[in-house]
Amino acid sequence: MTKLFSYRNRPVHLGPYPLEKLERVDSAALDHVPEMAHVSFRRPEDPLSIVNAMQEYQAMLDATREGLVKKELAEIPDDLTERANHLKAFGYYCDASMVGTCEIPREAWLDTPLVNPDVDRLADKLRTLQPKTLAAGIDVIMAGLRESMRAPPQACEHHTHALVFLYDMPRDPDAEEVGCDWIIDAQDHRTCLRGMETAVTLASYIRTLGFDARAHSMAASDVHLGKLAVASGLNHADGANPFLGNRYGLAVVTTTLAMSADRPLAPNAKPGLSWAVGLSGHTKSRRKADAFQTRKFRDGLHPFETLKRVEDPTTYIDKPNVARVPKRANLFARGLFGDMGKTVQEATKNGNYVRKSAAAFAFRPSLGAFVLLQDGEAAEAHESTQDPDRNAANIKAALYWLGVDAVGLSACPDWVYYSHDAAGQPITPYHSNAISMIIDQGHETMEGASGDDWIACAQSMRAYLRFSLLGGVLAEHLRRLGYTARVHSVMDDEVLHPPLLLLSGLGEVSRIGEVILNPFLGPRLKSGVVTTNMPLTHDKPIDFGLQTFCEACNKCARECPSGAITAGPKLMFNGYEIWKSDSQKCTTYRVAQKNGAMCGRCMKTCPWNLEGLFSEAPFRKLAMTVPKAAKALAKLDDLAGQGEINPVKKWWWDLEMVDDGAYRPSAHPVNARGLQKGLDLRYEDQTLAVYPAPLAPPPYAYPYPMDREAGIAAYKAMIPASEHKARRAKGLA
Ligand code: SF4
Ligand code: SF4
């Protein structure tokens, strides 16, 4: 969605709507506030409705709305306004439309809590589930979940404060619109699910800080959501929101963590000029509140339909000779098994590189829980699903409506599957089609970050969780319609994502290496894939001139703190032509660095990491149509200071888990880098290593130390695609 005004001077805790402009009063009458509709996720009479597929995901969120409170209290600011601003910003970071805070009025507690009956049903299923995968400590996750579902609900009336998350709705899907077969009459369900994703994450975060917290949804709650929305100044006493009327959903976190409260709205509070034109830098204005007003759901938010499509990806893939490798070759697995030495092993063990950051760890419980729902049996095929065009349109529209940022459909060739799974068992490719998805890591928070500070890991986790939820709902829906479908998430996947992103037209290979760059989201993305046997029409790869751009631009390589990105040419690796980075250097830095948690500085500093402003359109247009302008554009990007840190956008706390288990302000100096504009990085000065298939470990769970000398030799032995093709032609390779 193109914006006219930048939000660069708007703090994140203010959010995308100009709530701060509304007139306020000291108190509000709550007696006649209508309660939200109680949302049921059972719609057996309409098997085409995606509501049915949301059922288990909503139940999983409702089942995990409370949990253990960390006994070690975190060291956080005492200032109550700072606390409220921080938590609101976290909510906006999770894409809530509006966030308010309040002290919990006595009359907001329900006499009879709202219970989601699907939680019991899910608990029964989990009791019998025998996951075939050993990935990601699945047994531990299951044991924890079974335990928490058995435990009687604890009282939470001692909670004193509430965070209220309001989610807006896109326009109603039209039954006549191509692609909308599955998403009719499901807006409450969508906002309920998305709101609870945020509430469960924030409740988990607060408990990690050592304070009690519970999430409440429109399907499972101890509180009157509507009254809390009025008390926290989001809605009028009749339940109407000043910007949205009654088109919204709510979720709440109640907690013992004290914070400042927002004041209720004045009865006559209404949006003014700022809302009409978007003057204060807020993303949403009357004109721009819903990008789908002018777009079809199946087309998504960005003009993907304008991109040049080509028959093959713009980088060569030697398809018959791609080397399949075991999952054990994944660098995080190698770190865990000690292949990269003790320091990396310690940092990787128990997910320590995630756990050490409170904000990142907040996403982890839901991410683990959703692994249990990734796969399943298919029902009988529904008669309406024989047409591949119709299926493709329905899949795209459903995913864009749910909130995925980009979707591409392609074949799922055998060569994209790993050779062996996490348990060392051979993988026989099973699905012929792939649905690839991209989740934006969020421009606004990236603006405030160095890319390798204390929010970096949370940026990945947020996007991974979003995919696990939305991709999971889609896969479940396909199974209900009669087709096998499997989610391939960061926690448990059996296919390589980058080639599928290329085949489905979601981007091109970039200098960063395995990162596929999308013309509208840049490299600021995380991917996820659902494979299926549902017949669907494929998209084609795209060509937006990135190969020329990356050849002329070296910025990510220059700014990479570990020196992992090549300043040299593209070379052949395992059958793919790519700018091969030194994944060992990158992974070591990401998991073991002390001055932050993880890294995404290459994404942060890339000139394609854009806000989405109208004024940026000429850059994109020129970069895509005049390849010769790439060098000048890359220089201009530096001159404009793009990629520097914008302190207005820093909302997170630099909390690190220390030896006694508590989260405290990190004792290490926090990464806060400026651009290294003067650095002349030269390929000939770099020493890079790669570990192609012949150097990959066996598929089993035993240590297999990396031989860096062999890796360096392997880098030197890599050849360009042209030479590779010539050798193949002569039968030499
Ligand atoms: Fe950070 Fe790795 Fe990117 Fe380098 S390549 S900037 S270490 S994520
Ligand atoms: Fe390509 Fe430059 Fe972005 Fe690196 S920073 S991915 S070279 S455009």
pLDDT score at 134: 43
In 394-523, where do the E strands start and end? 406-411, 433-440, 485-488, 508-509, 516-517
User: What's at 479, amino acid-wise?
Assistant: R
pLDDT score at 629: 86
Instruction: Tell me the pLDDT tens digit for each residue of 436-461.
Output: 999 999 999 999 999 999 999 999 99
Which tokens belong to 376?
């399943």
Burial call 72-101: b when 16+ CB within 10 Å, e when fewer: eebebeeeeeebbbbbbbbbbbbbbbbbbb
- C-beta of 602 in contact with ligand 1 (< 6 A): yes
Whether ipTM tops 0.85, in short, is: yes
Atom of ligand 2 nearest to the CA of 522: 3
Residue nearest to atom 2 of ligand 1 (CA): 586
Instruction: Tell me the pLDDT tens digit for each residue of 211-263.
Output: 999 999 999 999 999 999 999 999 999 999 999 999 999 999 999 999 999 99
DSSP state of 319: G
CA 555–ligand 2 middle distance (angstroms)? 6
- Strand pairing of 221-223 and 213-216? unpaired
- C-beta of 600 in contact with ligand 1 (< 6 A): yes
| Predicted model pTM | 0.96
Decide if 438 contacts 522 (C-beta within 8 A).
no
CA 523–ligand 2 middle distance (angstroms)? 9
Instruction: Tell me the pLDDT tens digit for each residue of 578-626.
Output: 999 999 999 999 999 999 999 999 999 999 998 877 777 788 888 888 8
pLDDT score at 3: 72
Which of 556, 579, 605, 642 has most ligand 2 atoms within 8 Å of its beta carbon, as the pocket-test mutant? 556
Between the alpha carbon of residue 581 and those of residues 441, 512, 584, 683, 701, the distances in Å are 21, 7, 9, 12, 25
Atom of ligand 1 nearest to the CA of 601: 6
Which of 511, 565, 675 has most ligand 2 atoms within 8 Å of its beta carbon, as the pocket-test mutant? 511
Neighbouring-strand partners of residue 613: 3
413-415-417 Cα angle (round to 5): 90
- State the average pLDDT for the chain: 93
Contacts of 722 (CB under 8 A, 6+ apart): none
CA 649–ligand 2 middle distance (angstroms)? 23
User: What percent of the chain shows pLDDT beyond 70?
Assistant: 96
Ligand located closest to 578 CA:
2
Q: Establish how many alpha carbons lie within 13 A of residue 89's alpha carbon, considering only the half-sphere containing its beta carbon.
A: 21
Q: How many CB atoms lie within 10 A of CB 594?
A: 13
Decide if 532 contacts 475 (C-beta within 8 A).
yes
CA 659–ligand 1 middle distance (angstroms)? 27
Strand, helix or coil for residue 180? coil
Site residues for ligand 2, CB cut-off 6 Å: 510-512, 517, 523, 549-550, 553-556, 606-608
Query: What is d(CA 564, CA 581) in angstroms, rounded to the nearest whole number?
Result: 5
Atom of ligand 2 nearest to the CA of 510: 6
| Cα–Cα nearest to 575, from 207, 401, 303, 315 | 315
Which of 450, 452, 525, 562 has most ligand 1 atoms within 8 Å of its beta carbon, as the pocket-test mutant? 562
Binning pLDDT at 50, 70 and 90, where does residue 136 land? Answer: very low
| Cα–Cα nearest to 36, from 245, 224, 240, 230 | 224
Q: How many CB atoms lie within 10 A of CB 225?
A: 26
Which of 517, 555, 638 has most ligand 2 atoms within 8 Å of its beta carbon, as the pocket-test mutant? 555
CA 321–ligand 2 middle distance (angstroms)? 28
pLDDT score at 282: 72
DSSP state of 369: H
Residue nearest to atom 7 of ligand 2 (CA): 550
Between the alpha carbon of residue 497 and those of residues 38, 416, 526, the distances in Å are 38, 8, 10
Contacts of 461 (CB under 8 A, 6+ apart): 354, 360, 362, 363, 364, 367
Long-range contacts of 616-619 (CB under 8 A, 24+ apart): 617/2
